[in-house]
Amino acid sequence: MRLGFPVKILGHPGLRPYDSRRWQNSPHLSVSLAYLRDIILYLERKKIRFYRLAPELAPYIAHNDFPSFHRQIEECFKELAEVGKMALERGIRLSFHPPYVNLTSPQQEVVEHSLRKVNALARILEAMGLGPEAVVVIHAGGAYGDKPSALDRLCKVLEKLPQWVRSRLALENDDALFSVRDILWVHNRTDIPLVFDHLHFLNNRDELEEREALSLCLGTWPAGVTPKVHFSSPRTAMKLVEEAGKRRAYPPHPSEHADFVDPFEFIAFCRTALMTSQRDFDIMLEAKAKDLALLELRENVRKFAADLEVE
């Protein structure tokens, strides 16, 4: 099982996940790909085989007001293929998880903007020549007071997508609106595979037990494609906030991600998963300490559960 982390590199100061310059300075995908080459070499040195790409890899590519940025992928076909080859040769799985994608909105312009973003990220993965494990993970969106209608709108949008785009998508349960059972309904209609999120499930639990929910999500992935799971521990540290010159302490919200991963919680989750399903899967760690959290967890697993094979 490969462990991964998202976007930012904390263990090597100076590595940038994308070209973050403002539009006035003409940021470009070519610059982001140069940064990504350095990240891949860092991942290789640390023996990390799973990484979530920055959704801003191609800056402003889906922005309505900046059409001059819309051809970055076409302008970087050669560079994309080269970087994709670098990742494949090192066995590094890549994925996207863009925020603010809302395919359930009753407002067509919101859906169209989300689709432009999703299409662009899917095109990047295609141009990189990556296999079917490289996916764009999305949430369903909003419920707008009528969850069944929202889910029906989502399915209609997904059903109209070209097959090559649909094959790059995966749908994740969230921590408030759409549970595992809800996204299973979408999968049964659209065949989009499902990403099980452990912390979201704990915050938005339906009548399913976790082992059953996980097993059902893993079973939605095509044969020969390794599923992916999201895992994080809930934040437990108090928050100190300055208010009127005084410091006040507030408890964390149970949906907040911790900086690091509780190794004993993680080990228990993995053991339950292995008892429930014989299918291998990769785990994206959504801890705030990013690669530092991954490296720390990997050492703790080797210390406390040497029989679990993680890399």
Q: Model pTM?
A: 0.94
State residue 261's pLDDT score.
97
pLDDT at 248 over 90: no
pLDDT tier, 277 (very low <50, low <70, confident <90, very high otherwise): confident
| 104 touches 154 (CB < 8 A) | yes
The DSSP element (H or E) to which 31 belongs, if any, is: helix 29-46
pLDDT at 278 over 90: no
User: What angle is formed at CA 13 by the lines to CA 12 and CA 16, rounded to 5 degrees?
Assistant: 95
Q: Where are the domains of the chain?
A: 3-219
Cβ partners under 8 Å of residue 218, min gap 6: 196, 227, 229, 277, 279, 281
Q: What is the pLDDT of residues 209-234, one digit of tens each?
A: 999 999 999 999 999 999 999 999 99
Which CATH number does the domain 3-219 belong to among 3.40.1260.10, 3.20.20.150, 3.40.50.300, 3.40.640.10?
Answer: 3.20.20.150
Q: How far is CA 166 from CA 24, 100, 306, in A?
A: 34, 18, 38
Residue position matching structure tokens 């934040």? 235
User: What angle is formed at CA 191 by the lines to CA 186 and CA 193, rounded to 5 degrees?
Assistant: 85
Q: Read off φ and ψ for residue 145, nearest 5 degrees.
A: 75, 0
State residue 276's pLDDT score.
81
Q: What is the pLDDT of residues 107-132, one digit of tens each?
A: 999 999 999 999 999 999 999 999 99
Average pLDDT over every residue of 170-194: 97
Distance CA 88, CA 221 (A): 20
